[in-house]
Chain A
Amino acid sequence: MSADSDFELYYKVMNNKALLTVLSACGLLFGLASCSNEPESKTTMSSRVSNYFVPDDLNGEISVQHNCTYAMMFDNIKGEMTMSATSVEVPGTNGISFTTSPMRFTPYTFENNQSIDFYNGEASEVEDINGYLTNMVFYLSPAYDPFTNITPNPMLVMSYKTDGYEVRTFSPNAYFSGETKTSYDMGAGEQTYTTKDAMYRVNFAQDMTTANVVIYNAKFVESMKAINVILRDLPVTLTRDGYRISVSDVVPELMDGSVATPYPSRTFTSLEIKSSSDLTKIDCDYVVADVFKGQFSGFSCDRFVPIYN
């Protein structure tokens, strides 16, 4: 296997056909999938995500709704799209539904991924809709995943305002990829080890009070074989700026075939996870067995950021 770039080597893109169809219709397909010769004039797509409700009231509570479906319709000729949703369970309402007026979208192709940016969307019920649609990026899944497998939906990252809340969409089962740097001192002075192979999964419970965190391909030193680490039922704090996980002395589990087995010798002395406000990025700091200090920062998806000269 050869890599044209680090990106290709370490990341696999879950290609979504509808997304690619839109891009191919716009003539911007980057050769990752076949496309029809005739662009389709309209393309529909849907994304099922969770909603993170942040109240305008600074003292208000954060709440979450799962399994909310947003439907998008792209007019590829006009370069416009509409966003629809039904039963968005905004607290204090019986649920709202909306369909935006057409809004401009801009497709981007970059590295080995694609995204569609949309902005300034509005409807009578909602306003200030901004976001992007992209493919999730994550490292190749290992053979034994302790939880449900990832569903290949496109990642909808969006925020809008309605009825006293800011609504942010997110995935309750996101995989984060990036760089993990570990430092340790085993008697020969402080040494460091860096890897991009490790991937972090945050899998929320339905009520969002706890989450299971899985670190795939965890490796703290060069000579160590990569392992998959499960940290189960970690308490979660939801804040205006994203969610937080802060625990100490957690015994991880490693998979023995289909059996998750506790590994006290690899106790996480401390673990802190902090997400970004748009919930697409996490920063993770941990100490394992009082020896290995790990730092991770990674994204669940990539967004193209245009540079304007």
Chain B
Amino acid sequence: MCGAGWLEVWRFCSNFAFQNAVAVLPTAALSDADEVTLLNKIYLIAAAMVAASPAYSAISIAEHDTSLGVYADSVDYVMLDEVDVVAVKSGRNFRALPLTGSIVSGTRAEKLIVNDVKGISGVVPNFYIPDYGSRITSSIYVRGIGARMDQPAVGLTVDNVGILNKDAYDIDLADISSMEMLKGPQSSMFGRNTMTGMISVRTLTPWEFQGWRGSVSEGLHSLFRFSLGWYKKFTPTAAMSVAGNFFRYGGEFINECNGKTTDKEVSGGVRIKNYWNPSAKVRLSNVAYASFLRQGGYAYESVATGKIAYNDTCFYRRFIFTDGLTADIRLPGSLSLTSVTTVQYLDDRMTLDQDFLPESYFTLSQKKEETTLTEELMLRGRAAEGNYHWLVGAYGFYNRLGMQAPVVFKDQGISELIEHYRNAANPYYPIAWDSREMTLGSDFKLPSGGFALYHESRYDLGRWHFMAALRYDYERISMSYDSRCESGYTIYQNPSGQLPMPEGVAVYNHVPVDLKVAGRLVNHYSMFSPKIGATWDLPEVGGGLLTGNVYASISKGFKAGGFNTQMFSDVLQQKLMEFMGLSAQYDIADIVSYKPEKIWNYEVGSHLDLLNGNLTADVSLFYIDCRDQQLTVFPPGQTTGRMMTNAGRTRSFGGELTVNYNPLPQLDLLASYGYTNARFVDFNDGLEDYRGKRLPYAPANTLFAQATYIQSCSTRLPYYLEFSVNFNGAGNIYWNESNTLRQNFYGLLGTSIAYRAPRWSVEVWGKNLTQTKYCTFYFKSMGNEFLQRGQKMMLGFTVRAKF
């Protein structure tokens, strides 16, 4: 099509899209005037793009985007002036290794409006992170296996700092350089909580860019995002960067009780990077990061009423500080020693109207303060012939977590969950609580520590490449708990047995309540995590028409065991019931303790480059055998909180396919599909046998597709228009172990249109343009059903500049 034709197409599309965007805009928290203002901005920007695009010529995507989507470019992170620990362990190009991985480049992340790890959910096949609750919630599912509480199943490293606490996973990041996802157990190299994969996020370094760069974004529902970074290379051996970001979101979902949005957010952070190479053999770097967050969160809608309506406060506040010091020393004889020392601090507070109802049942206020120290040493080397590479490492950590988590029973909760229950059993001697508020206090101290030793060997034999790794982890965790309840109630003598009891009944007796559950639990475990794999390089066909490899691997991974503190309010409640004449039902150690979860992953696959690199494809088939799976279940009856349990056994099998195709120099097509069939092999919770049922919360299918087209706007100057459309789908997702409720497969349509100049760019973008209705989460509490809906639609624009 000629250049003029493309202009007409663009004008038509922009007019059509924005006119219809106005027509389908839902009622939002913003006033109509705000919506109109934002849309006018978007429309003006789009019009400016059109006006500034006189002519077109074909250009190559490669000229403007050196990261072709999900495939690693041949960048050896060890050879750059920065040291990437994940690359140190996994190698510079994972497509040469017996594993499946994906890289989302910074450029693609910008096109997808991705600012955090959740943004690549579904982009990577069989990788799913639902967005619900608040940023304390990072439930990641890979190949059907994941976790909603406590320990994560996927590890996360941000600029060499391995984040231990899942509560700190969901952070807004500026200047993302790449997000790499390694699938399958990575425990042989990374240890605990990398059972199904490892995510490595790199942000921009002053070696890659020097100068200033910033961006401003605005979107519906008062979305505002700002970032600014300064990157300076002082000398060839010293560099520094300071980057900050701010995010504000007004919220989309309204709490009917107070008319305010529930999912509003204010957050920000600053990252300081320092690099110094004192000699040719020594490289030092330090990355310090601090962030704050305050958000409402918890847009849980009642299934019965279709409304979000709860009367007590819900919010989540968080402060994070991390610092990672990396030192890399080149030793004689092709040896190198790398040390990574990190400090991590998290201080957060979550307050919940835990019943999520307009009535006052109970609230939870959980406050945590956690400090973590880690140290890792890695020694690498290779044989003189270069066909044998080895790595040995040692790792140690110490973590100290203090938590207070009082549950306050309020009027309705006391009335319906305690008094009603007790008085129905004995209407002739009913009770009335002394106060209409009762606190079940819980304090915890959870110090933990551990160490690990690991080794990996790789051997190249012609077209064959073999690898074997083994890691030993030892961990010890203890929990000191102190839960208490001080209250009281009066027993009345009600001869008629009528309820509610009539006025003037005599007092029978008064019962003071002074309950205390305190103690200490200690657990320790050790784990071996082996891995073996082999890769065979395919013979090159047709001078570049086909290259690649096939691989097979067997690996073991594990998720740490621990203690579930959320059950203590329930334990205390049951203790109260026992005090009132009903025997206790819980053994504390049995309920709060959970064992490590272990999986064996069997995988075959292939990495292919076809058509002289214009078409790349990664395919994998896997089978996972999971033992002692940690599952989150809600206790039966009218209780609060959740509990962990180790299911008997589960299995998962499936496959993944990712294809990236450039049929034209200016056209990039990316598609990825993941299928998972994850079922219980053996799980009976005492009430129901779930054998054969699908695992809940993980999608059976993920589907992602993206098309990007670039048109130059000038034959002399590097200005161009970029059009991108994407589709991100997931489902079916079952919401319970019995598979009676599910979210059907759904897809979200997104687009972005950008005008890019060498030093600035303007982009308009949209997500879920078809306003697909879908749920990201479902749960049941006290017999009430709740769900969280996905974001309806988001429109916005982003302006970027660098100088």
Instruction: List chain A positions with a Cβ less than 8 A from chain B.
Output: 1, 142-144, 217, 225-228, 254-259, 261-265
User: Cα distance A1–B589 when bound, in Å?
Assistant: 10
Given contacts A225-B583, A225-B585, contact A262 B429 (CB under 8 A): yes
Decide if A225 touches B429 in the complex (CB within 8 Å). no
Q: Chain A residues with Cβ under 8 A from B491's Cβ? A: 256, 259, 261
Decide if A226 touches B583 in the complex (CB within 8 Å). yes
A–B Cβ pairs within 8 angstroms, 21 of them: A1-B587, A143-B579, A217-B583, A225-B577, A227-B581, A227-B583, A254-B426, A254-B581, A256-B491, A256-B580, A257-B511, A257-B513, A257-B579, A261-B429, A261-B491, A262-B429, A263-B428, A263-B429, A265-B426, A265-B427, A265-B497
Given contacts A256-B511, A262-B429, contact A226 B582 (CB under 8 A): yes
User: Cα distance A237–B21 when bound, in Å?
Assistant: 90
For residue B770, CB closer than 8 A to chain A, the reply is: no
User: Cα distance A143–B579 when bound, in Å?
Assistant: 8
User: Cα distance A255–B429 when bound, in Å?
Assistant: 12
Decide if B581 touches A265 in the complex (CB within 8 Å). no
Decide if A263 touches B511 in the complex (CB within 8 Å). no
For residue B384, CB closer than 8 A to chain A, the reply is: no
Pairs A-B, 4 closest by C-beta atoms: A254-B581, A226-B583, A257-B511, A225-B582
User: Cα distance A263–B428 when bound, in Å?
Assistant: 7
Q: Chain B residues with Cβ under 8 A from A256's Cβ? A: 431, 491, 509, 511, 579-581
Using a Cβ–Cβ cut-off of 8 Å, how many residues does chain B contribute to the interface with A? 24
**B114 smallest CB distance to A (angstroms):** 49
Q: Chain A residues with Cβ under 8 A from B431's Cβ? A: 256
For residue B508, CB closer than 8 A to chain A, the reply is: yes
The residue of chain A having its C-beta at the shortest distance from the C-beta of B583 within the complex is: A226
The residue of chain B having its C-beta at the shortest distance from the C-beta of A255 within the complex is: B581
For residue B512, CB closer than 8 A to chain A, the reply is: yes
Given contacts A259-B491, A264-B428, contact A142 B578 (CB under 8 A): yes
**B509 touches which one: A142, A217, A259 (CB < 8 A)?**
A259
Q: Chain B residues with Cβ under 8 A from A262's Cβ? A: 428-429
Q: Chain B residues with Cβ under 8 A from A226's Cβ? A: 582-583
User: Cα distance A261–B513 when bound, in Å?
Assistant: 15
Q: Chain B residues with Cβ under 8 A from A225's Cβ? A: 577, 582-583, 585
Query: Interface majority SS on B: helix, strand, loop or mixed?
Result: mixed
User: Cα distance A97–B580 when bound, in Å?
Assistant: 48
Q: Find the residue from B581, B583, B585 having the highest chain A CB count within 10 A.
A: B581
Q: Chain B residues with Cβ under 8 A from A259's Cβ? A: 491, 509, 511
Q: Find the residue from A142, A228, A258, A259 having the highest chain B CB count within 10 A.
A: A259
User: Which residues, 392 to 432 on B, are CB-close (under 8 Å) to A?
Assistant: 425-429, 431
User: Cα distance A226–B585 when bound, in Å?
Assistant: 9
The residue of chain B having its C-beta at the shortest distance from the C-beta of A216 within the complex is: B583
Q: Chain A residues with Cβ under 8 A from B582's Cβ? A: 225-227
Q: Chain A residues with Cβ under 8 A from B590's Cβ? A: 1
Task: Flag B169-196 by CB within 8 Å of A: 1 or 0 each.
Answer: 0000000000000000000000000000
User: Cα distance A123–B512 when bound, in Å?
Assistant: 56
The residue of chain B having its C-beta at the shortest distance from the C-beta of A224 within the complex is: B582
Q: Chain A residues with Cβ under 8 A from B511's Cβ? A: 256-259
**B425 touches which one: A255, A258, A263 (CB < 8 A)?**
A263
User: Cα distance A257–B512 when bound, in Å?
Assistant: 8
User: Cα distance A228–B581 when bound, in Å?
Assistant: 6
The residue of chain A having its C-beta at the shortest distance from the C-beta of B514 within the complex is: A257
User: Cα distance A265–B581 when bound, in Å?
Assistant: 14
Q: Chain B residues with Cβ under 8 A from A217's Cβ? A: 583
Q: Chain A residues with Cβ under 8 A from B587's Cβ? A: 1
User: Cα distance A143–B584 when bound, in Å?
Assistant: 9
Task: Flag B3-33 by CB within 8 Å of A: 1 or 0 each.
Answer: 0000000000000000000000000000000
Q: Chain A residues with Cβ under 8 A from B584's Cβ? A: 143
Q: Find the residue from A142, A225, A256 having the highest chain B CB count within 10 A.
A: A256
Q: Chain B residues with Cβ under 8 A from A257's Cβ? A: 511-513, 579-580
**B607 smallest CB distance to A (angstroms):** 48
Q: Chain A residues with Cβ under 8 A from B509's Cβ? A: 256, 259, 261
The residue of chain A having its C-beta at the shortest distance from the C-beta of B584 within the complex is: A143
User: Cα distance A226–B574 when bound, in Å?
Assistant: 12
**A51 smallest CB distance to B (angstroms):** 35
User: Cα distance A254–B580 when bound, in Å?
Assistant: 8
Q: Chain A residues with Cβ under 8 A from B579's Cβ? A: 143-144, 256-257
The residue of chain A having its C-beta at the shortest distance from the C-beta of B515 within the complex is: A257
User: Cα distance A45–B234 when bound, in Å?
Assistant: 89
**A142 touches which one: B425, B429, B583 (CB < 8 A)?**
B583
The residue of chain B having its C-beta at the shortest distance from the C-beta of A144 within the complex is: B579
Q: Chain B residues with Cβ under 8 A from A255's Cβ? A: 581
**B428 touches which one: A143, A144, A227, A265 (CB < 8 A)?**
A265
**B314 smallest CB distance to A (angstroms):** 32
The residue of chain B having its C-beta at the shortest distance from the C-beta of A265 within the complex is: B426
Decide if A264 touches B581 in the complex (CB within 8 Å). no
Q: A254-B426, A259-B511, A264-B428 are in contact. List 4 more A-B contacts (CB 8 A).
A: A256-B431, A256-B491, A256-B580, A264-B497
